[in-house]
Chain A
Amino acid sequence: GENVEQHPSTLSVQEGDSAVIKCTYSDSASNYFPWYKQELGKGPQLIIDIRSNVGEKKDQRIAVTLNKTAKHFSLHITETQPEDSAVYFCAAPPGYSSASKIIFGSGTRLSIRP
């Protein structure tokens, strides 16, 4: 089945610097890749997603890149701010159907140092 690996597990960056989180997946049929942000005591919130026909997508300070050949995708946060501190999860659904369960990465705990 699908396997999603996420690195690093923890990341601490200086406020204003950039943060990069990387994920690899195993199922070549996967073609939708969301990223979620989870704050303490809350449910995950979708922050950006990318489909396999696109190599990069950007939304203000957040960008996601996808390398389908290498089966990896990355989250880039620029000009980090204190409110970016949270746990980030990548995910990949095996296949592409309305009933496929998505597989989450293990999460990255991002801390922004003032």
Chain B
Amino acid sequence: GAVVSQHPSWVICKSGTSVKIECRSLDFQATTMFWYRQFPKQSLMLMATSNEGSKATYEQGVEKDKFLINHASLTLSTLTVTSAHPEDSSFYICSARDFPVDFFGQGTRLTVV
């Protein structure tokens, strides 16, 4: 299947700083990418839909100014967690759509200390 590369796989940052997570589709172009957050032993919670060349669509309750999404090319979307706090610590996962299939990245474990 297609490959989606997500980096970094884990990151530790200090409270108040910003962290950028990259999601790349390596062998296909993805007009649409998605960002999820996953809490322990729970299903994936969609945060936002990232559309190439346009603004992201955020799910209800997700702060767009805190979770900045940029989809500048057909193979790259980035999620920036701004002014991170301990409650932002979580597992973040991206997916890229090669319609109708969604391929997922490896996930990023964010720990805010």
Contacts and interface: CB of A to CB of B under 8 A. Distances in A.
Answer yes or no: do A and B interact: yes
Interface residues of A, number: 23
Given A46-B1, A107-B43, 9 more contacts: A41-B91, A41-B109, A43-B6, A43-B93, A49-B101, A93-B100, A98-B31, A98-B32, A98-B97
The 10 A-B pairs at the shortest CB distance, nearest first, are namely A43-B104, A43-B107, A98-B99, A32-B100, A44-B104, A43-B106, A43-B93, A104-B43, A106-B43, A107-B43
Instruction: Classify the secondary structure of A's interface with B.
Output: loop
B22 interface: no
Interface in A74-114: 89, 91, 93, 96, 98-99, 101-102, 104-107, 109
Interface of A: 32, 34, 36, 41-46, 49, 89, 91, 93, 96, 98-99, 101-102, 104-107, 109
Nearest to B92: A43
Interface of B: 1, 4, 6, 31-32, 34, 41-44, 46, 49, 51, 91, 93, 95, 97, 99-107, 109
Contacts of A102: 102
A91 B97 CA distance: 14
B32 A99 contact: yes
Contacts of B1: 46
Contact of A89 (B32, B43, B97): B43
